[in-house]
Structure 1
């Protein structure tokens, strides 16, 4: 009986291995940094074209050689042409080491159960917000109907291209639940029902990650986004685009492609912009609210932070930008409401990439300013030393 069981187990292993062994690509993910990494990794579809020629997309699996388990994956169509451009998976790699994976076709190998964790959508329930979240943080910004309501002095208006923060203390999705609560109670998500809430005020400020142009000692900013497009959502990454109407004497036009990965406190902003006249700078900011918090500026490292208390609980906000593009940064404090911002002026190249995020003490992710500064420093190191993916 014991021999029979062993033979059955061996046959099962051989069957799974044989299915993968028909055509296999070996994927290695290397980490050159002295801390463990747990990040979403992307593989261009063209690099696995030989595997896809003879196999169905839905049968592709990535299996860890260390654990033998199948990893969560997500196919992403980055250019919205109806064809996937990138295969995403979650890689856990130790400090100064590498992790090995097998990429193969095996429809019998079960994929891990996964939720729609990296999520974003247009929100008509409250005029026309656009909101996004993952298992750690949530954000939103505002559309043309919210702008119209403000300009026509109607209820529920918001005139802002700033980035709002929703303070989560759960790994579960909250966007749909909180907006559903809003339908019967407009103050629903401003009260913590056990999952977090939205006490963060944006107004006309930059929130955390809003943009503009510093001109004649004042900040020129766009109004609300005019169009939106959801590009991807899934267990690993959400991506969307927002476009803005021309603003200021330079007639600046912006397209913001924003993405958020599972497990990260930082949204990635890739912004392309143009203007009718050469710009003096392109600026990214963080609201200083009532100037009661503290700022941190490290131009050399490209790390910019704000530390404050909201309802007596610590929250840290921050930006991480390649220092090569930074002109200068300073705290612009004003007596005018919503006009105080930490401003980072970047060289006007027509395109900028930066990471904007936060951490809230009540989420359990951090406890104090020191923790947040360490998280920002780690994020800067991650960006300057990305995981190295090789395929054989």
Structure 2
């Protein structure tokens, strides 16, 4: 009887062990009263492997277990050879759990919704976009030229298609050809959300970025690093890197700045938004680290909304003759994370200041209460 019992257990346990290797079940919990739409969620790849060790990275699908439909996904590397995360884009209703299954199958071809690249043909620009907006940082080749600028730029768009390559190729992106344009003015300011040291009531700008590295490039998230050479900040030698990450479906992108210097003290910095000469509308919240700005009408080009949402305490928000500045502090080699966003009224999604400020406040609440992922 003992031999028969062992045979019985072996016979029935082996199939269950095999089945356990053919799937990973994911639960994404939204414990807030805010419905999350088009959210890009990162799921640790090792947690997938622990449940589905035989997964073929070229032959699997992510299935919504209720609708039975495939879910868009991306394998995120963060610059490493090995996969770091499985990214999925999902809608999660308020106070609910979304169930997904990772299993064998042929994945659909989903639309590319984020893209970034170095643009050597336009003075070393580095540009990035998602299905809502596009942005750029200025490079080394632009320094000292007539068109030099210090801040970050926004290109408005009213299409969910990727437009960067098309616009650079046309060389006429200051005119709206039906999908948007670049009419945002940066100049010698922080533009749309750049950050810089702030000493003796003065912004201490760095040069433009001189180095770059691509980490991931779509379809749901594009991430890259921009490196800035050492510059003088009131006698202190400072270097900086910016890790920028943009997700599909969001009016915002994420910046992680690291400043490196030697005195061991906190360094005061500001994030800024250029203020137009004409009257715009502002929504400033020091307690929550929010700067919202709805620009004045710019002729036929329309209106751009800009916002900065910080995750570190803001000591004050000040308005000078050129910019709106949120003051905070950093320490050497410690990342400071914040978010920059934009909206264009002619895109038809966010069309007035009330909608824009509501959206900013909602986004601030979302980053403070992230979706909770469980793999089993």
Q: TM-score, normalised by structure 2?
A: 0.89
CA distance in 1, matches of 2:328, 2:50: 42
| Conservation of the 8 A alpha-carbon contact between 2:220 and 2:247 | yes
| Conservation of the 8 A alpha-carbon contact between 2:192 and 2:306 | yes
Alpha-carbon shift at residue 97 of structure 1 (Å): 1.0
Could you say which residue in structure 2 is the equivalent of 1:359? 343
Alpha-carbon shift at residue 332 of structure 1 (Å): 1.7
1:257-298 per-position Cα deviation (integer Å, ceiling 9, x unaligned): 001100001010011112233344121111113263232210
1:226-252 per-position Cα deviation (integer Å, ceiling 9, x unaligned): 101111112210001001012223222
CA distance in 2, matches of 1:285, 1:209: 5
Could you say which residue in structure 2 is the equivalent of 1:283? 270
The answer to whether the aligner puts 1:348 opposite 2:337 as a matched pair is no
| Conservation of the 8 A alpha-carbon contact between 1:135 and 1:172 | yes
| Conservation of the 8 A alpha-carbon contact between 2:22 and 2:52 | no
CA distance in 2, matches of 1:377, 1:88: 25
Distance 1:198 1:57, change over 3 A: same
CA distance in 1, matches of 2:68, 2:181: 40
1:176-325 residue pairs with structure 2 within 5 A? 176-182=165-171, 188-247=172-231, 248-249=233-234, 250-277=236-263, 278-290=265-277, 292-312=279-299, 313-322=302-311, 324-325=312-313
Q: Which runs of 5+ in 1 are unaligned?
A: 1-18, 151-156, 183-187, 334-339
The answer to whether the aligner puts 1:330 opposite 2:318 as a matched pair is yes
Could you say which residue in structure 2 is the equivalent of 1:378? 362
Across the aligned residues of Structure 1 and Structure 2, the Cα RMSD in angstroms comes to 1.7
The answer to whether the aligner puts 1:45 opposite 2:27 as a matched pair is no
Could you say which residue in structure 2 is the equivalent of 1:138? 134
Q: TM-score, normalised by structure 1?
A: 0.86
Alpha-carbon shift at residue 77 of structure 1 (Å): 1.0
| Conservation of the 8 A alpha-carbon contact between 1:243 and 1:256 | yes
- Report the 3-state secondary structure (helix = DSSP H, G, I; strand = E; otherwise coil) of the residue aligned with 2:364: helix
| Conservation of the 8 A alpha-carbon contact between 1:201 and 1:289 | no
The answer to whether the aligner puts 1:369 opposite 2:353 as a matched pair is yes
Could you say which residue in structure 2 is the equivalent of 1:96? 95
Q: Which runs of 5+ in 2 are unaligned?
A: 1-17
- Report the 3-state secondary structure (helix = DSSP H, G, I; strand = E; otherwise coil) of the residue aligned with 1:131: strand
Could you say which residue in structure 1 is the equivalent of 2:148? 159
CA distance in 2, matches of 1:321, 1:234: 25
| Conservation of the 8 A alpha-carbon contact between 2:317 and 2:325 | yes
Could you say which residue in structure 2 is the equivalent of 1:75? 75
CA distance in 2, matches of 1:373, 1:296: 7
| Conservation of the 8 A alpha-carbon contact between 1:297 and 1:330 | no
CA distance in 1, matches of 2:19, 2:289: 44
| Conservation of the 8 A alpha-carbon contact between 1:71 and 1:111 | no
Could you say which residue in structure 2 is the equivalent of 1:33? 32
Could you say which residue in structure 2 is the equivalent of 1:337? none
